Structures are given as structure tokens and as C-alpha cells.
């Protein structure tokens, strides 16, 4: 009887535990779903607005209509600085202070606000006025062609010029080299992405929001290009350091005298010594090499004097 009672008690406890666990899972999932829905609702209301408040997107679009150039300058400046920060984080490019905030960020912000935004405002405005009211397929194709053959080259030349200046170019030949090397690759990227982004803007984006939209597209592309450039520069610096260490090691080996009798087991490289004997080994071989050179120089001097005497 006792054994049967214990078995029934164990089964009852297991059933209660399973029921409590299922109830907890159901309650937790319901609570999590409700919280996630509430957070999504709040975020959406903040961005797009609700019945009693204006969202950030609504405020931004209104500012874009009332103060277009100022809003575009602010947007482009923030995105340009953020582009530098994101590229540095992705590439692992830290400053001398050990963080990802570097001196290029304020320069990029100034470029975006004072150069890129006004230039885009003027060029895109001209493009929109040229094709205002023209909604045919032929007009849209011509708009894409004008953008790729006139607008994009101007923007890319200005971009390469100021990126070279920000990178430290001060001579005309340095800027000319940057344009010659970087223009065609950037144009290839523009020709690949510009038709798609412009066709999307023609279909879905209001005209007054074209410049911020293209700024976002440029932010994504610019971040990727900046990341690749940082990685190439870091790899080149690392390779240069490794080559320098290998060259220094070969130079040390060449300056060492050949081992004497019974010294073949003595390390020929200072780096082969244990850490506590490295300095002693280096000084030993430096002294031996100096004495060998002095001895060889003395023999050469005596041979030269004997030759002159015989003549």
C-alpha cells in the first residue's frame, strides 16, 4: 500500500509541475507578446504620429518642406559623421586614444552639411525642374540617363576631391592622382545603384524628400566604400610592419660573424636567445662583429702600405 501511495503521490506532483510549467509558458508568452506589441505601437506612434501627437517623421517632413536646405544640411552632416563612425567600428580602426571617434568625423560632418547637401539640393532641384510634370516612361528613362551621365559625375568628382583633402592631400598632383584612381570605381558603383534608387524614388518618394532619400542611399554605399578603404589601409600598414621586422632580422643575421670551432650550436639570431639572455647575446655578437671588422680593416691597411712600398 505504501509503495502504491508513494507512486500516486509522485505522479500527482509531476502532473502539478507540468501544469504549472505550461501555465507559466502560456502566461509568459502572452506577456511578452503584449509588451512587444506595446513597444512597437509606441515606436510607430513616435515616428509617424498618432491622433493626439505628431511623429518625428511628420515633423521632419514638415521641416523639409518649410526649410528644405537647412534640413538637408543637418541630415547630410549627421549621416556623413555617422558613416565614418560605423565604418571605423566595422573595420576595427581605432584612434590613438583607443576609441572609434577620430578627427575625420567633424570634417566629414562639415563636408556633408556645407558641401554635399547644398550641391545635392541644387543639382536635384535642376533635375526635378527639367522633368516637372513629365510622367511618361520615356521621360523617366531620360531622367535616369541625365542623372547618371551629368549629376552623378559632378557629385563624385566633388566627393573624391574633398575626401582627398580630408585625407591630407595638399598638392595638386595628389588630388589629380586621387581623381584618376578613384573616379572610375565610384562611377561604376553609381551606375549600378543610381538607376535602381532613382526608379524607386520616382515611384514611391515625394519629390521634396528625394535628397534625404539619396543621402540614406549614399550613406549605405559610402559606409561600405569607407570600410573597404580602411581595411586596405590597415592591411597595408600591417604588411609594412611585418616586412620591416623581417628586413631587420635579416640585417642582424648578415652583420653577425660566422661561428667559430665548437660554436655551431650558438644561436645566430638575438631573437633565438631566451628572454633573460637576449641583451647579453646581442652585445656579445655586436662586440665580436666590431672586432672582426676592425681586424679586417687593419689587415687591409697593412696590405695597402706594403703595396705602395713595393711600387
- How far is residue 282's CA from residue 270's CA, in Å, rounded to a whole number? 6
| Per-residue pLDDT tens digits for 140-190 | 899 989 999 999 999 999 999 998 898 888 888 888 998 898 899 888 888
| Per-residue pLDDT tens digits for 38-68 | 655 565 555 555 555 567 778 888 888 889 8
Instruction: Tell me the pLDDT band of 95, cut-offs 50, 70 and 90.
Output: confident
| Per-residue pLDDT tens digits for 245-300 | 777 777 776 665 555 555 555 555 545 444 444 444 455 555 666 666 666 555 55
- pLDDT above 60 (res 222): yes
| pLDDT average, residue stretch 92-117 | 87
| pLDDT average, residue stretch 21-33 | 60
| Residue 126, pLDDT score | 92
Q: Quote the mean pLDDT of the chain.
A: 76
**φ/ψ of residue 49, rounded to 5:** 95, 165
Task: Please state the domain extents for the chain.
Answer: 69-235
| Residue 276, pLDDT score | 47
Kindly give the residue spans of alpha helices, DSSP state H, lying in 103-151.
104-111, 117-130, 137-146
What residues have CB less than 8 Å from 295, skipping those under 6 apart? Answer: none
CA distances from 40 to 13, 34, 49, 59 (A): 40, 10, 13, 20
What percent of the chain lies above the pLDDT cut of 90?
A: 16
What percent of the chain lies above the pLDDT cut of 70?
A: 63
Check residues 23 and 199 and name the one with the higher pLDDT: 199
- pLDDT above 50 (res 88): yes
**φ/ψ of residue 297, rounded to 5:** -65, -40
| Residue 278, pLDDT score | 46
- How far is residue 146's CA from residue 211's CA, in Å, rounded to a whole number? 16
* N-to-C CA span, the chain: 130
pTM over 0.75: no
Is residue 218 within 8 Å of residue 189, measured between CB atoms?
A: no
Amino acid at each position: 500500500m505504501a509503495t502504491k501511495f508513494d507512486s500516486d503521490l509522485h505522479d500527482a506532483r509531476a502532473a502539478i509541475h507540468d501544469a504549472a510549467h505550461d501555465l507559466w509558458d502560456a502566461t509568459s508568452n502572452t506577456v511578452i507578446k503584449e509588451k512587444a506589441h506595446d513597444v512597437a505601437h509606441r515606436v510607430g506612434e513616435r515616428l509617424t504620429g498618432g491622433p493626439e501627437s505628431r511623429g518625428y517623421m511628420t515633423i521632419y517632413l514638415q521641416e523639409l518642406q518649410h526649410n528644405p536646405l537647412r534640413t538637408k544640411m543637418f541630415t547630410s552632416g549627421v549621416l556623413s559623421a555617422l558613416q565614418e563612425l560605423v565604418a571605423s567600428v566595422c573595420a576595427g580602426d581605432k584612434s590613438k586614444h583607443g576609441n572609434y571617434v577620430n578627427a575625420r568625423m567633424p570634417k566629414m560632418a562639415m563636408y556633408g552639411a556645407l558641401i554635399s547637401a547644398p550641391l545635392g539640393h541644387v543639382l536635384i532641384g535642376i533635375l526635378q525642374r527639367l522633368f516637372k510634370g513629365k510622367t511618361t516612361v520615356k521621360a523617366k528613362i531620360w531622367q535616369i540617363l541625365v542623372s547618371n551621365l551629368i549629376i552623378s559625375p559632378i557629385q563624385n568628382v566633388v566627393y573624391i576631391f574633398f575626401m582627398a583633402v580630408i585625407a591630407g592631400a595638399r598638392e595638386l598632383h595628389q588630388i589629380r592622382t586621387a581623381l584618376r584612381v578613384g573616379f572610375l570605381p565610384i562611377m561604376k558603383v553609381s551606375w549600378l545603384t543610381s538607376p535602381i534608387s532613382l526608379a524607386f524614388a520616382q515611384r514611391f518618394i515625394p519629390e521634396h524628400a528625394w535628397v534625404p532619400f539619396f543621402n540614406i542611399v549614399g550613406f549605405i554605399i559610402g559606409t561600405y566604400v569607407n570600410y573597404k578603404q580602411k581595411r586596405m589601409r590597415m592591411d597595408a600598414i600591417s604588411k609594412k610592419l611585418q616586412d620591416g621586422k623581417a628586413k631587420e632580422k635579416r640585417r642582424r643575421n648578415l652583420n653577425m660573424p660566422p661561428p667559430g670551432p665548437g660554436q655551431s650550436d650558438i644561436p645566430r639570431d638575438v631573437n633565438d636567445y631566451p628572454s633573460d639572455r637576449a641583451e647579453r647575446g646581442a652585445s656579445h655578437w655586436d662586440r665580436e662583429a666590431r672586432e672582426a671588422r676592425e681586424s679586417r680593416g687593419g689587415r687591409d691597411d697593412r696590405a695597402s702600405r706594403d703595396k705602395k712600398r713595393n711600387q
